[in-house]
Homo-oligomer: A and B are copies of this chain.
Amino acid sequence: MDVVPAAAHPPDRLLLGPGPSPVPDDVLAAQSRSMVGHLDPWFLEKADEVAHMLREVFRTANQLTYAVSGTGSAGMETAVVNVVEPGDTVIVGVNGVFGARIADTARRAGADVVALEEPWGRVIPAERVAAAVKAHPGAKAVAVVHAETSTGAHQPLEEIGRLLSDTDTLFVVDSVTGLGGVPLEVDAWGLDVVYSGTQKCLSTPPGLAPITFSEKAEAVIDRRRSTVRSWYLDVSAVRRYWGAERVYHHTAPISSVLGLHEGLRHVLQEGLEARWARHAEVGRLFQEHILDRDTRLLAQEGHRLPQLTSFAWPEGVDEGKLRSRLLDEHGIEVGGGLGEFAGRAWRVGLMGHGATHDNVDRLLAAIDELLDD
């Protein structure tokens, strides 16, 4: 390798995998604005606007709503380490990679994890949560994945929110792939800590994790007996920067915040309901048509995400080779299966800016051409 490699100019890709999703030019351009300081009054005003827009998108009045300086998994860790103290019981729905990741993260934070395991592709029944809460009445939190990116399962949240609302147990929700793509009502559904990522249905480059904490969650955090195990993700310090005090904690990733500012403007200009409807329609269209190719959808019927479809190819189709050729010959990226779906499934994302009829047509035409070859 030369000491100084050539400048990096990416090939043209149509991103129809599990993320990152396609990013509008205006959002990319916002990331190349001239640099400003993280304590500059102008930038603090933009950070306020980001928090304001995140509240709109999360459908919440929660004061403690901001963007974690890391990707979606940093949002997960922020949710977990601030809520959990060593010895706490945490009930986690595990029906895919990301539920398992919450359980792992919670154990590292010192939790006793009660894992509610369901087969991959299925959702966690509210009755199982109710039974677990009854068996562990002092549980600190229940955590589930709203949009399981590894399976395409769409977890219902309202009933669990209702059953936790008059308990001391917090409801933690992973909506990394949900936010902006399917309905999510943080306040109306009684969700206490919800985190997301920017590179899915918000169509913004990866690098930040939107997060929101209810007053109930803030009160629990304020009563902690032990210090949060992470310095970087400790909300008791971070909220002094995002809040009115503006106390320096760490340097905010300026360009990424400006990119998210523009990405959220796009989301709100389209309107949340319109965006949800577009995802629903385009995703359903793709799911109908891909079934005509002898495939099998892996998520439970009635609980399928429109923005992320996981499906198995019939025996005899070499999914890895097909996927490589789709990238090399057609410039289209899709995802392979994770975990137990590896080697036989695909994950197709029709997320954010990428959720269009035209993209469904391009993808299906490219698949058919490769299958006929």
Contacts and interface: CB of A to CB of B under 8 A. Distances in A.
Interface of A: 1, 3-5, 7-13, 15, 17, 19-23, 26, 28-38, 40, 42-43, 46, 48-49, 52-53, 56, 69-74, 76-77, 101, 104-105, 107-109, 197, 199, 205-207, 227-232, 248-256, 258-259, 261-262, 265, 268-269, 327, 333, 338
Of A30, A71, A72, A104, most buried by chain B (CB within 10 Å of CB) is A71
Contacts of A265: 4-5, 7
A248 B73 CA distance: 12
A231 B79 CA distance: 13
Contact of A230 (B19, B22, B32, B108): B108
A245 to B, nearest CB: 14
B40 A13 contact: yes
Nearest to A264: B4
Nearest to A205: B255
Nearest to A30: B8
A35 B8 contact: no
Copies of this polypeptide in the complex: 2
Contacts of A3: 56, 268
A38 B11 contact: no
A262 B265 CA distance: 28
B38 A5 contact: no
B255 A256 contact: yes
A343 to B, nearest CB: 14
Contact of A49 (B5, B9, B26, B259): B5
A93 to B, nearest CB: 17
24 contacts: A4-B268, A5-B265, A12-B34, A13-B35, A13-B40, A19-B251, A20-B254, A28-B33, A28-B34, A28-B255, A31-B255, A36-B333, A69-B74, A72-B250, A72-B251, A73-B249, A101-B231, A104-B231, A199-B251, A206-B252, A207-B253, A229-B230, A248-B338, A255-B256
Given A36-B11, A229-B109, A253 B29 contact: no
Nearest to A108: B229
B30 A7 contact: yes
B8 A46 contact: yes
A251 B34 CA distance: 25
Contacts of A21: 35
A254 B107 CA distance: 29
Contact of A10 (B11, B33, B251): B33
B255 A207 contact: yes
Given A71-B251, A108-B231, 10 more contacts: A5-B49, A10-B258, A11-B40, A12-B34, A37-B333, A70-B74, A72-B251, A74-B232, A104-B231, A205-B256
A104 B49 CA distance: 32
A195 B89 CA distance: 35
Nearest to A338: B248
Contacts of A49: 1, 5, 8
Given A40-B333, A333-B40, A31 B34 contact: no
A20 B8 contact: no
